[in-house]
A = this chain, B = another copy of it.
Amino acid sequence: MNIKHLHEAPSLTTALTGPLHALETHLLDQQNAIETWFRQQWLINKPPFYASVDIRNAGFKVAPVDTNLFPAGFNNINQDFVPLCVQAIQAALDKACPDAARVLILPENHTRNKPYLDSISTLQDLLTQSGYNTRIGSINPEITEPTTLYLESGKNITLTPVHREGDRLLADDFDPCVILLNNDLSSGVPEILEGISQVITPPPDLGWNKRLKSGHFEFYRLLAKEFSQLIDIDPWFFDPLFRNCGELNFMERKGEDCLAENTQKLLNDIQKKYDQFNIDATPYVVIKADAGTYGMGIMTARSASDVHDLNRKQRTRMSTSKGGNAINQVIIQEGVPTYETWGDINAVAEPVVYMMDRYVVGGFYRVHTKRGTEENLNAPGMHFEPLAFDEPCNVPDSGIDPDASPNRFYTYGVIARLALLAAAREIHAVSTDEDS
């Protein structure tokens, strides 16, 4: 399916758009108050360098379901938004790096994941166009000398192994003033990054070795409550409910009862909200590795018995996350169906919003032809087509329908920035912990 030149946003295929219209209308009406509130928040909470947020639009609810602080997928953003990225990068790095203007990207260790390498190449281009001398480093033990990889796009990137000189991290003789981390450090912070004197952004302590999804959504929950008072709407309309248990082990069935019990409690809580707002849908939850990424270690459940009835293969799948790391903690999150579909084939579409500094710089839809409305669209081995947003999410138009494309994208931009702000508070909390 060639969707490069389409400017058609996915349609909402649910009749349950009443509450969504209410949310969108509230956001449009209160745009000045909302932007003022964000401004004040950014004066207190420094935004991370970048982030992407997976959003699900159920028609009756729009909510973030994952916030990635080391985003890939930059190759999927609309080329028209490059100037926005350039401006945002300049705003983000101006103060961090006024003198030297040398940035080292530190990516994942992948060398064969072509879409990922395309994203890194795009990120390098964006930084170069912003006026930064940019190289790509590598902490992959297999990369022992500068290695050029050729991409399907016809471009190529060169990975240069990093080394230490005292407290500085260098790639060959390239001595960066900023290290831009694009590695989620699922397996921990490597020794070579410890105690270096250069700025590393986002901070390594926000890698999946330390960060928990439930921690993020705890910050988000508080923010959603605060924000709901500003726009006078129940926070549930943009906040996914969640619960978690302590340690568990899927193979040994340790913690299974707790998980089943909390699953049932959460399903009941969702049903209560559905009843409160007259929503005719069947609750489900998504159980994910609390430090998981890459769509690994994810299952859905519609009842407590779904947890008890897992077969051996399913238990194995729920036991291991990226890099072979064991899953011993999960978040049970309210399932938010995505009722956005694209084209005649009714492919399911999930929006992903990209931000740099405090600015929304675009996004794309993950469009799947073979997945259902309740499934996770970012799964290993699953094929998706990126459908670039044709709107940059920062230009609402109060003169048109609240669900018209610039306004729906504005809503996504607001929700994504709430998640970004939650991440900023996480970062602040981590730094404060370290300071104390």
Contacts and interface: CB of A to CB of B under 8 A. Distances in A.
Interface of A: 31-36, 38-40, 42-43, 80-84, 86-88, 90-91, 94, 98-101, 128-133, 359, 392, 394-397
17 contacts: A31-B128, A31-B131, A32-B133, A33-B101, A34-B131, A35-B131, A36-B101, A39-B94, A40-B99, A42-B94, A81-B83, A84-B84, A84-B87, A87-B88, A91-B91, A129-B395, A129-B397
A359 B87 contact: yes
Contacts of A99: 36, 40
Contacts of A80: 80
Contacts of A40: 98-99
Contact of A83 (B33, B91, B132, B394): B394
Pick the most buried of A31, A36, A40, A99: most chain B CB atoms within 10 A of its CB: A36
Given A94-B42, A98-B40, A99-B40, A394 B32 contact: no
Contacts of A101: 32-33, 35-36, 39
B395 A86 contact: yes
Contacts of A34: 131
Q: Which 10 A-B pairs have the closest CB atoms?
A: A35-B131, A36-B101, A83-B392, A32-B133, A86-B394, A129-B395, A87-B87, A83-B394, A39-B98, A82-B395
B98 A132 contact: no
Contacts of A87: 84, 87-88, 91, 359, 394
Nearest to A88: B87
Given A40-B99, A91-B91, A35 B130 contact: yes
Contacts of A133: 32
Contacts of A81: 83
Contacts of A100: 36
Pick the most buried of A34, A35, A396: most chain B CB atoms within 10 A of its CB: A35
B91 A32 contact: no
Contacts of A31: 128, 131
Contacts of A98: 36, 39-40, 43
A380 B132 CA distance: 43
Contacts of A94: 39, 42-43
Contacts of A128: 31
A43 B93 CA distance: 12
A143 B359 CA distance: 39
Pick the most buried of A81, A86, A397: most chain B CB atoms within 10 A of its CB: A86
A128 B395 CA distance: 9
B35 A395 contact: no
